[in-house]
Amino acid sequence: SSDSELELSTVRHQPEGLDQLQALTKFTKKELQSLYRGFKNECPTGLVDEDTFKLIYSQFFPQGDATTYAHFLFNAFDADGNGAIHFEDFVVGLSILLRGTVHEKLKWAFNLYDINKDGYITKEEMLAIMKSIYDMMGRHTYPILREDAPLEHVERFFQKMDRNQDGVVTIDEFLETCQ
Site for other proteins in 84-113 (CB under 8 A): 85, 90, 93-94, 97-99, 101-102, 105-106, 109, 112-113
**Smallest gap from residue 47 Cβ to other proteins (A):** 10
Q: Give the one residue of 88, 122, 123, 138 binding other proteins; rule: CB under 8 A.
A: 138
> Cα separation of 95 and 13, whole Å?
20
Q: How far is it, in rounded angstroms, from Cα 78 to Cα 73?
A: 9
Task: Confirm if 95 and 26 have CB atoms less than 8 A apart.
Answer: yes
Q: What is the DSSP string of 1-50?
A: -HHHHHHHHH----PPPHHHHHHHSS--HHHHHHHHHHHHHH-TTSEEEH
In b/e form, how buried is each residue of 75-89, taking b as 16+ CB within 10 angstroms? bbbbeeeeebbbbbb
Least distance CB 118 / other proteins (angstroms): 19
Q: What is the largest CA-CA distance in the chain?
A: 58
Residue from the set 81, 147, 172, 179 that interacts with other proteins by CB under 8 A: 179
117 is a contact residue toward other proteins (CB under 8 A): no
Distances (CA, A) of 168 to 1, 114, 116, 131, 158: 49, 10, 13, 18, 8
**Per-residue contact track with other proteins, 24 to 63, x per CB under 8 A?**
----x-xxxxxxxxxxxxxxxx--x---xx--xx--xxxx
Question: Is 120 one of the binding residues for other proteins (CB under 8 A)?
Answer: no
Nearer to other proteins, 1 or 81 (CB): 1
Ranges within 158-177 binding other proteins (CB under 8 A):
159-161, 174, 177
Question: Which one of 71, 107, 153, 171 is in contact with other proteins (CB under 8 A)?
Answer: 153
Number of residues near other proteins (by CB under 8 A) = 75
73 is a contact residue toward other proteins (CB under 8 A) = yes
Chosen residue from 140, 147, 165, 172 binding other proteins by CB under 8 A: 140
